[in-house]
Amino acid sequence: MENVKAIFEPKTVALIGSSRIKEKVGMASPQLFENVVYNMRKFFRGKTYVLDVDANAEYTRVDELPETPDMAVLMLPPEQSIEQAEKCAEKRVKALVGITGGYKDDQRRRLLKLKEEYGVRILGPNTIMGVINAANGLNTTFERDVMPRKGSIAVICQSGGVGACLLDWACFYNVGISKLAFMGDKIDVDDVDLLRYLGEDEETKVVCLYMEGIKKGREFIEEARKIVKKKPLVVLKGGITEESVKRAKSHTASIAGSDEIFNAALKKAGIIRVEDIEELMNSAIALSKQPPMHGDNIAIVSNVGGPAILAADAVARNNLKLAALSDETKRKIEGLYPGVDATNPIDMIADARAERYSKVLELVLKDKSVDGVLIINMLKSCFFEPEDAEVIPKIARKYPGKPVVDVPAGGEDFALVYKVLGDTNIPLYNLPEKAVKALKALRLYGRVLEKH
C-alpha cells in the first residue's frame, strides 16, 4: 500500500525515455517523451529527473541519479523498459508507471517478477497516459499543458481512450479532479489496489471507474463495499453485449462477464452504475458537491413552464417522485406571489428574480415532504439575470441535508450562470434531464448509506 501511494504521491520521479528512439512500438516516441517531460517540469511540485538513455544528457543511467526516485515512468519500448525497470527495482524505487505498450506475455511476466522480488509496485504497462495527481501536479500524460482543475473526483480507467476522453471532458468543462489513473495492462496494480488507495485518500470525495471487466471479482466487490461507506463509487462499464465483450477482451485482456450478473453484483456492493461518460461526470459532480438524498421526493422550482414539465417527466422516468408539497407551503408561496400556482413543479413565471427564487426555495426546502430540489432558471424569455443565481447557494447552505441542483437550461444561458455558480457547491446542468439523473445518483447513494 505504501508503494501504491508512491504512484500518486512521489517526492521524486525519474522520467525514463529516449529523445532518439525510432522503434515505433506501443507509443514510444521522442515527442511523447518530450511532452511528459514538459508537463512534469511545468506542473509537478516534487523533484523530476529526466533520464535519456540514448543521448548525451545529464542522466543516461539510473546509476547516475543523485538519489533514488520514489517512482519511475517508463517510456521506452518493452525490452528497454524492462531493462530500466530492473535497474530501478534494484535501487529500491517504490513504484513504476509503464506508459508504453506492446508487451508480449513473457515480457509482462518479467516485469511482474520485479514486484515479487523487490516489492516495487507497477502501474501498467500500456497505461499510455499514466497518472495525474492534481494536488501535487504529478502529470505523466503526453498531452502538453493538459491539466485538470484540482478537485475531489478521482477517476480510474481501464481504457486509455475513455480515460483521455474523461480527462478532456474534465478540463474543458472545468470539473475538479483529485487523481486520475490509467490502468493499462494491469499486470500488478489493479482496480482493487486503486480503490483501497483512493478510499483512504483525503483529497478524494467520489471515485469514478471505467471498466471493461473484473479480474478479481470477489476482492473488487469486497473493497467496493468498504469504500462506499466512506465515499460513493460510480461505475461506467463498457462491453454489455456479446460483440462488444469480445472486443473488450481483445482490447485490455480482461474478461467481461454477463452484464446482468455484473449489474446485480454492483448493486449489491452499493456501487452506482451509469450509462455514459457524461452521466459519469455529471453524477460525480453532484456527489462531490451535494449531500446524498434521503427520500425520493423532488421539488421543481422554475421560471418557465415547459422545461419544468420536462424535468417532471424525467423524475418519473428515473423512478423518483414529484414531492407533494404541504398545504402550508403552497399557501405561503401563493400568498406571497399571486398568479403563481404552487403545485409542484412550481412555475414562478418569467419575471421571477433573486428575491422570489430565494423565498420559494427556502419554503420548499423547509417542507418535510421535499427530499431534494431541482431549480430551473432560464435567462432567455425571462427576466432572470445571472447574478440572481447567487441566492441559490446561500439558501441551500441553510439546509445541508437536502441536495439542490440547478439548471440554467440551454447553451449561452448555462455558460452565463456557470460564471456565477461554477465555483460554488451547486452543481449545474444544461438540461433538466441531466439534473434529474444527478439527483438520482444522490438518491442511490442515500440508499446505500441507509442500508449500512
Site residues (CB under 8 A) for a second copy, limited to 297-356: 302-310, 312-317, 322, 341, 343-345, 347, 350-351
Amino acid 399 reads Y
Q: For residues 215 and 207, give the distance between their C-alpha atoms in angstroms, rounded to a whole number.
A: 19
Neighbour tally for 59: CB within 10 Å: 17
Q: Which of residues 396-415 bind a second copy (CB under 8 A)?
A: 409-413, 415
Region label for 103, one of left (φ > 0), alpha (ψ between -120 and 50) or beta (otherwise): beta
Strands (E), 141-296: 150-157, 177-182, 206-211, 233-237, 272-274
Binding segment toward a second copy, per CB under 8 A, in 39-47, 75-83, 117-125, 247-255: 247-255
Contact status: 168 vs a second copy (CB under 8 A): yes
Instruction: For residue 282, report the phi and psi dihedrals to the nearest 5 degrees.
Output: -65, -40
Is residue 370 a contact partner of residue 325, using CB atoms and an 8 Å limit?
yes
CB nearer to a second copy: give 3 or 81.
81
Contact status: 38 vs a second copy (CB under 8 A): no
Which of these, 307, 320, 303, lies nearest to 370 by C-alpha position? 320
**Which of 58, 117, 275, 328: binder of a second copy (CB under 8 A)?**
275
CB nearer to a second copy: give 352 or 365.
352
Tell the smallest beta-carbon distance from residue 304 to a second copy (Å): 3
Binding segment toward a second copy, per CB under 8 A, in 13-21, 85-93, 165-173, 260-268: 165-173
Q: Which of residues 125-144 bind a second copy (CB under 8 A)?
A: 128-129, 141, 143
Binding segment toward a second copy, per CB under 8 A, in 51-59, 166-174, 357-365, 396-404: 166-174
Size of the site for a second copy (CB under 8 A): 77
Which residues, 6 or more positions from 6, have their beta carbon under 8 angstroms from its beta carbon?
A: 70, 71, 94, 95, 121
Contact status: 282 vs a second copy (CB under 8 A): no
CB nearer to a second copy: give 146 or 395.
146
Cell 452521466, located at residue: 279
**Which of 42, 380, 394, 419: binder of a second copy (CB under 8 A)?**
380
Tell the smallest beta-carbon distance from residue 114 to a second copy (Å): 26
Q: For residues 53 and 416, give the distance between their C-alpha atoms in angstroms, rounded to a whole number.
A: 50
Contact status: 265 vs a second copy (CB under 8 A): no
**Which of 20, 42, 172, 419: binder of a second copy (CB under 8 A)?**
172
Amino acid 316 reads A
Alpha-carbon dihedral sign for residues 130, 134, 138, 143: positive
Give the three-state DSSP class for 118.
helix
Contact status: 208 vs a second copy (CB under 8 A): no
CB nearer to a second copy: give 30 or 161.
161
**Which of 132, 162, 189, 428: binder of a second copy (CB under 8 A)?**
162
Is residue 122 a contact partner of residue 187, using CB atoms and an 8 Å limit?
yes
Neighbour tally for 226: CB within 10 Å: 13
**Which of 248, 269, 395, 439: binder of a second copy (CB under 8 A)?**
248
